[in-house]
Structure 1
Amino acid sequence: MSNTALLERPAAPRHLRAVPSAPAAPAATPVPAATPAAEARALPAGTAPRGFALYVGIDEAKAAASGVSLGVLVDALRRTLADLAPEAETYATVALAPVGSGGRDVDVVRLALHEPSAIARTKADEPEDEDRAPGGVVVDISRKRVLIDGESAAFTFKEFELLQYLVLREGRTIERTELVGSLWQNASEEESPGERTIDVHVRRLRAKLGRYEDIVRTVRGVGYRFDRHADVSIRYGHGTPSPDRF
């Protein structure tokens, strides 16, 4: 999926607007509105609503068939929300999934963005990582660690961030400039590494991966990428960072 295509903006994007509902016919039996107390009972104790997530399942081809793009849809929804609730804050993210992923688009999106109930349903049908053979590499994003053949590897924080960044963007080639801008975005000009310094970090990362060093591929003249690998399993935790955002 092309990130450039996602961010294209036509000159006059469509604008979704709230449509006033038609007057409802009198109901034979009035349904009482939910009371605040009833709503409170439906929530876990000590919690309060702070917003919502709307998962939208549509790929670029289907959007194009409707004469729009994913970026246009995001803009339209944001403008509609700004009309209805100007004080609302928004955040949009793109769900990336391997080409050819089966299932309903919305289910693929929920799983790609690590929506808790979608993850829970998948895990119910799979053995826990701890029950699997210890061989191979486990990238444990929930605990910020890497296991190699069952043993914890001595990765530095930055080395783990680098591997995690590539793993979460599986199948996409990441340029050195993007790695510098994303992993050192809060660093001062003196602390921020040059593009070639990224090569040094990758060499150290590969050295610690040992015989599994090829899971981090070099794309000559461009950067690095992680492809699905039989020797690698990934443990996601709640709050795992989404791979790409608008």
Structure 2
Amino acid sequence: MSDPVSTGPRHVAIIMDGNGRWATQRGRPRLFGHRAGARRVREVVESCPDVGVEYLTIFAFSTENWRRTQVEVAGLMSLFRMYISREARALDQFGVRVRFIGDRVRLDAKLVTLMDDLEKLTCNNTAVHLTIALNYGSRDEVARATKRLARDVAAGNLDPDDVNEETLPKYLDTCVLPDPDLVIRTSGEARISNFLLWQSAYAEYEFIDTLWPDFTKEEFAQLCASYGGRDRRFGGVKT
């Protein structure tokens, strides 16, 4: 294992797009592409320590993805259950801590149980912090966070005058995570699709043409290295 890149991103978030198109190009059903994309996740996760990435957040299923066909949604839910069951031991052995963000209310009970069990299994791991956004939408997250904040105000546990931009993040799904430094979207689409809107206010973005099932650890390393050469001023001016 090579030495971590000290100037690289600590937290990378990825919108894993292009699975369906990858399958269509090969004359296969869209779920074939999703299965190929799931296999790609492990390679990227295991390459994180080599490039100095401590936190990796992946967008697995959005609140808007329920609009897809019933067949595709059912297939994706089955794939999530299979992925968690199959990968749990390997993730734990590699030292990956897994967290899930998103609203679990709409997910089936078996899937939620698998998610809970994987979080418990890996809770003491520190090699890589993998966060999986499942039934996640950033606007939905902010709305849920605001409700919790409002309840604390109504209960007298929070003074409205104390609410500021440092307060709301404590109620977000990502409250224990650092903000992402780099957001990558595969497949050539140049939009952020309701993903980590609050958290990515000062993230660097990379929109690349590679379809997610073709995304390699070498390309991941190149993007992380490119981030290290960027001038990060956070609204200020260097003198």
If the length of structure 1 is used for normalisation, what is the TM-score? 0.27
Structure whose CA Rg is larger:
1
Q: Which has the higher contact order (CA 8 A, sep 6+)?
A: 2
